[in-house]
Amino acid sequence: MTDAAELRRRTAELLAACPPADTDRLDFLKARFDAGLAWVHYPEGLGGLGAPRSLQAVVDAELEAAGAPDNDPRRIGIGLGMAAPTILKYGTDEQKQLLRPLWVGEEVWCQLFSEPGAGSDLAALGTRAVRQGDDWVVNGQKVWTSSAHLARWAILIARTDPDVPKHRGITYFICDMTDPGVEVRPLRQITGEAEFNEVFLTDVRIPDSRRLGEVGDGWRVAQTTLNNERVAIGGMRLPREGGMIGPVSRTWRERPELRTHDLHQRLLKLWVEAEVARLTGERLRQQMAVGQPGPEGAGMKLAFARLNQEISGLEVELRGEEGLLYDDWTMRRPELVDFTGRDAGYRYLRSKGNSIEGGTSEVLLNIVAERVLGLPSEPRTDKDVAWKDLAR
């Protein structure tokens, strides 16, 4: 089995063959992937060495110390955190060849799951995929699609059998966003930006070779994506005072004239909660190192959304009138979301979306209640009703 010493040796060989100061960034990332040092827990030939996931930190520390470039997880987070684990688990050998350009950042991915007619009930989706020979013809609409304006590929779930209950008639596909019939329209947010999109699919032909998993088994495949998505959003690695708590803590230290006793008590409470959430995320990542993400990711995502909204609200109050200022309402199509590099007004407005994106807080509360706490399931009267007979 590959151990820490072996990984250090392989990392040293990579740095000797591709000195970071003299090697093009993309070329270095490709060499790192080919050396099995991208995801060390992935199989050989797919960016890994079949090593324990916990040893990734050994490689990352060596490369960081050498000043080596990294990929951009904020820009390609959907591919890294959601598409890749699903392709690894269910993909064919041909489909797994998509992992290299995904990891190095040559190709951006997006997620075609949510629909305007289904709301938080993802299993009620109505986008249809009909088999025609070796292809599937897809028609429907998706919404709240991050990075669709940048993406080359998308993970897509569509209804392939309307005659069975909603969870059983879904199939999972990989969609080429450059194919005819794929139309991306911006959705402007209260920040003025349009980082989200709505996507219209009109007679889009997807080869059956781009199907992930069995026909009708898309809901089970999608659970891999969703579990990893919640961990990716709520379980990101942060230093102490990383994330939203950082800017408000700096303001508190640098602007003593803004302090009040009430704001002090609220800041202390939120600082402690942010630190607890950060340490819980560390524990979750340690659990992932020896297994797969479970419903604990839903709890982390819940905490992430609530804390971001409460902390950004406190920051606006602390700053007073200047906290209401927002510098730029122009329409923009950003490549990534930058919470900490913007002003307090932006953070306050943008954090409102945290309790919706990646699964609404209401749905995640149900997941935590049922799968973590073991409470009785919410009554579901439609689980045995054919999708075509559901009220819409």
Q: Are 71 and 105 in contact (CB under 8 A)?
A: yes
DSSP assignment letter at 206: E
d(CA 115, CA 194): 17
DSSP assignment letter at 243: T
Q: Are 138 and 154 in contact (CB under 8 A)?
A: no
- How would DSSP label each residue in 76-130? SHHIIIIIHHHHHHH--HHHHTTHHHHHHTSS-EEEE---TTTTT-GGG---EEE
Distances in whole angstroms, Cα of residue 163 to Cα of each of 73, 118, 159, 217: 40, 17, 10, 14
Number of Cβ atoms within 10 Å of the Cβ of 161: 17
b or e along 120-159 (b: 16 or more beta carbons within 10 Å of the residue's beta carbon)?
eebbbbbbbbeeeeebbbbbbbbbbbbbbbbbbbbbbbbb
d(CA 288, CA 218): 23
By CB atoms closer than 10 A (0-12, 13-18, 19+), residue 308 is: buried
Tokens standing for residue 177 = 């966003």
- Catalytic residues, by residue number, are 229
CA 148 to chain centre: 13
Q: Are 193 and 54 in contact (CB under 8 A)?
A: no
Number of Cβ atoms within 10 Å of the Cβ of 263: 15
d(CA 96, CA 45): 10
SS3 358: coil
